[in-house]
Structure 1
Amino acid sequence: MLALSHYNSSTSPLLPRFSNDSGGKVEARVTVEELSQQENFTLVQPTTSGVIVVVLSMTLGIISNIVALFILANAYSLQRRRSKATFLLFATSLVVTDFIGHVIPGALVLRLYLHGGVRPEDYNSSDGMCQFLGGSMVFFGLCPLFMGCAMAAERCLGVTKPLLHSSLVTKTRTKICLSVIWLAALGVALLPCFQLGSYAYQDPGTWCFIKVLSDTEGVDVVFVMLFSGLGLTSLAVALVCNTISGLTLVLARLRRQPGSHHSAKSHDIEMVVQLVGIMVTSCICWSPLLIFGLMSVIHSYTGSIGDDLSNYKTLMVMAVRLATWNQILDPWVYILLRRTVLRKIYLIAKCQVGLRGNIVGRWEPSSFQSSEKKEVDQV
């Protein structure tokens, strides 16, 4: 979680302690002013309001993921259709990944925040904690995107080619696919261990990510292009698959004979609606970070970033804060976009439309004509 407060201060952890008298205060203030003229330290002060925002945000994410996990586990235990069970296995794995990816990086960022962050001159000195935090952000960033892409492809095959889906997709193969996704994301996150890219502290010194803004090298550009390329490709494939699935279900709905019942289609509609929700959430939350990161590293490597460095820092901070909301919003897709909830929303909307239709019907021109005719007959 990166709900952080950014303060420009001149305090230094190396300042000596002064007495509480007025002379000590004046001397301390003079020393601080002298240091501020020499260097401009940017530290994050652990204010009460900032800590409360971070804690509330983490609490909301944890509760949301736990509720969604409980709903999915209960639905998985009651589900007998294999296609639905496969989808629920994917969804449960996604929620578990989101939960872990919300807690671990969030706890590390909160620890850095409470300790005042890292000074700007130490941004490029990547320690073990920065390596772990940066790798965690890359791993837990790619996993949901890969899983959303795999779920969309699985549903597209199930909707368009149900017989082929039943013969190819099994629970064992689904688990193998999940293992491959986790290993692929882990492999990308561990590339800096082989000198193929690097992680560095990012402004305001409370989080780590791929080096994109200063002292970038060719391997950093390749690393960011790989990370952003994989993420954007996953979103694009999910968009195509969900579009095909949605159009297929709409056409099947239009061709359905009156009075016929297809319970299987209702399950497919529910799953596709949830996948569209996942895709929209991922696009909104992750696209800015994927795009801004790629833009930043290219401009930094070519030396054309110039006076726009502060703007790119601000964009990166805003983008990573938005990306952390993906792990909070994803669980609500399963909580709100279930058949029971969608049916209630549909019935409420239908009642509202029917009520408006009755009100409008009372004021139709035909009703005026009939009432006028009755009055003439009476006269």
Structure 2
Amino acid sequence: MLALSHYNSTASPLPGFLNASRGKLEARVAVEGLSQQGNFTLVQPTTAGAIVVILSMTLGIISNIVALFILVNAYSLQRRRSKATFLLFAASLVVTDFVGHVIPGALVLRLYLHGGVRPEALNSSDGLCQFLGGSMVFFGLCPLFMGCAMAAERCLGVTKPLLHSSLVTKTRTKICLCVIWLAALCVAMLPCVQLGSYTYQDPGTWCFIKVLRDTEEVDVAFVALFSGLGMTCLAVALVCNTISGLTLVLARLRRQPGSHHPAKSHDIEMVVQLVGIMITSCICWSPLLIFGLMTAIRSYAGSIGDDLSSYKTLMVMGVRLATWNQILDPWVYILLRRTVLRKIYLIAKCQAGLRGNKLGRWEPTSFHSTEKKEVHQV
């Protein structure tokens, strides 16, 4: 031992340095090889990721506050019951998006600031992961449910106005909102009764349904329920908005040039906004709904194999797109208002030269309603 110590203390430090460097290089190559094979996960949340989360949260908070101010102001000035019902739905959607943007965003930011979880903990869960995963499912289903309910309500109001006036009231609208929140909460809490589970997802900064590793039958059923409900809501909204849009277009084309129906301007505005919400939801949520179900099925069948890293990337891309839904939704109400639509229509009409065409029946005055005060203030 003394001889060895003496040799190490008197020998040149260069061989030791080379050996250490070679050992570090070999370890790094081994880790990268395991990572590429999907057997090991490098969990290295970057500072840039935390900055992106902060900027996203700030933009989402500002957008939702502005949209909520516009909707509340319009609701206080609105005297038409059908429009008031729509504004109540829309304001509830914006509030849900706001809360759903702040709570999960704050938890993800906390995980980023703490460097994420260890690689060996990716397949585990704790109280924070359970709450974050449940929040993502709850605040993901709520906007989809509300968009579907709003589309169905407008379809009934456009196609069957008398039936709509007798069935749809503010009280029933509030009950419907409570049912939507309760239904989404029940789905999100299914793991509490062992029907599915939440786990940390790569890169260890967010939680979602277990879809990548050790997927069981209940996990596949849970993902199928989540994706099935989401895709069904998008499909129903697409059908209802298509029917509403076609009904309004046919009514405009059949209307006599000298007649005016100011009330139709409300329907036009609401249907245009619903189409904007539907398009935004389809773009933002479809990837996560589809990729999540595909990943869970392949993981349960054991056929992912070398494609594991690709599915991890798809899941991360899907959840990032889904978070943008809560940022883009408020801009639908900010940009697609009657005052903005009227300006867009005037510009498009001047460019296309449609003054003598049938589309000329879409006069600018049709975007005015009897509540002129509301238009100018909103």
TM over 0.5: yes
Distance 1:186 1:31, change over 3 A: farther
Could you report, residue by residue, the CA deviation over 1:300-357 in whole angstroms, capped at 9, with x for unpaired residues? 00111111111111100001100100000000000010000000111122233459x9
Match of 1:336 in 2: 335
Aligned twin of 2:85: 86
Whichever residue aligns with residue 43 of structure 1, its letter is V
Matched residue type, 1:59: T
The answer to whether structure 1 residue 102 and structure 2 residue 101 are counterparts is yes
- Residues 221-257 of structure 1 show CA distances to partners (whole Å, capped at 9, x for unaligned) of 1000000000000000001110111111111111111
CA contact (8 A) 1:46 1:114 kept: no
Q: CA separation of 1:184/1:31 partners in 2, compared to 1, >3 Å: closer, same or farther?
A: farther
Say whether the 8 Å CA contact 1:94–1:147 is kept in structure 2. Answer: yes
Q: In 2, distance between residues paired with 1:83 and 1:282?
A: 24
Aligned to 1:373: none
Farther-moved stretch of structure 1 (342-351 vs 213-222) = 342-351
Cα deviation 1:22-74 (Å, max 9, x = unaligned): xxx99997886676557855122442x33332211111111100000000000
8 A contact 1:41–1:119 mirrored in 2: no
Contact 1:156 1:242 (C-alpha < 8 Å) held by counterparts? yes
Matched, 1:219 2:218: yes
Paired residue secondary structure (2:263): helix
The DSSP-based 3-state class of the residue aligned with 2:61 is: helix
State the match for 1:44 in structure 2.
44
Match of 1:243 in 2: 242
Partner of 1:285: 284
Which shows bigger deviation, 91-100 or 249-258?
249-258
Percent of aligned pairs with the same residue? Answer: 85
Measure, in 1, the Cα distance between the counterparts of 2:348 and 2:262: 22
Give the corresponding residue for 2:5: none
Q: What is the CA–CA distance in structure 1 between the aligned matches of 2:41 and 2:75, rounded to whole Å?
A: 53
Give the direction of change, closer, same or farther, for the CA distance of 1:285–1:28 in structure 2 (3 Å limit).
farther
Unaligned stretches of 5+ residues in structure 1: 1-24, 358-379
User: Which residue of structure 1 lines up, in the alignment, with residue 150 of structure 2?
Assistant: 151
Structure 1: which amino acid aligns with 2:349?
K
Structure 1 counterpart of 2:140: 141
Go from structure 1 to structure 2 and tell me whether the alpha carbon gap of 1:27 and 1:45 turns closer, same or farther (over 3 Å shift): farther
Q: Does 1:254 align with 2:259?
A: no
Structure 2 residue 196 is matched with structure 1 residue 197: yes
1:43 partner SS: coil
Q: Structure 1 residue 75 and structure 2 residue 87: aligned?
A: no
Q: Is the 8 Å Cα contact of residues 58 and 102 (structure 1) preserved in structure 2? A: yes
SS in 2 for 1:325: helix
Instruction: Give runs of aligned pairs for residues 1-379 of structure 1, distance below 5 A.
Output: 36=28, 37=30, 42-47=42-47, 49-354=48-353
Q: Give me the whole-angstrom Cα distance separating, in 2, the residues matched to 1:113 and 1:207.
A: 9
How far apart in 2 are the matches of 1:206 and 1:75?
A: 39
CA distance in 1, matches of 2:140, 2:194: 21
The 2-side partners of 1:323 and 1:127 are apart by 23
- Counterpart of 2:318, as a letter, is A
One-letter identity of the residue aligned with 1:221: V
Give the Cα separation in 2 of the matches to 1:30 and 1:99. Answer: 52
SS in 2 for 1:42: coil
The residue identity in structure 1 corresponding to 2:100 is G
Query: For residues 342 and 130 of structure 1, what CA distance do their matches in structure 2 show?
Result: 43
Q: Extract unaligned runs of 5+ from structure 2.
A: 1-16, 35-39, 357-378
Matched with 2:3 is: none
Question: Is this contact kept in 2: 1:61–1:99, CA < 8 A?
Answer: yes
Q: Which residue of 1 aligns with 2:360?
A: none
Once residues 172 and 256 of structure 2 are traced to their aligned partners in structure 1, the CA distance between those partners, rounded to angstroms, is 36
The alpha-carbon distance between structure 1 residues 166 and 211, as it changes in their structure 2 partners (threshold 3 A), is same
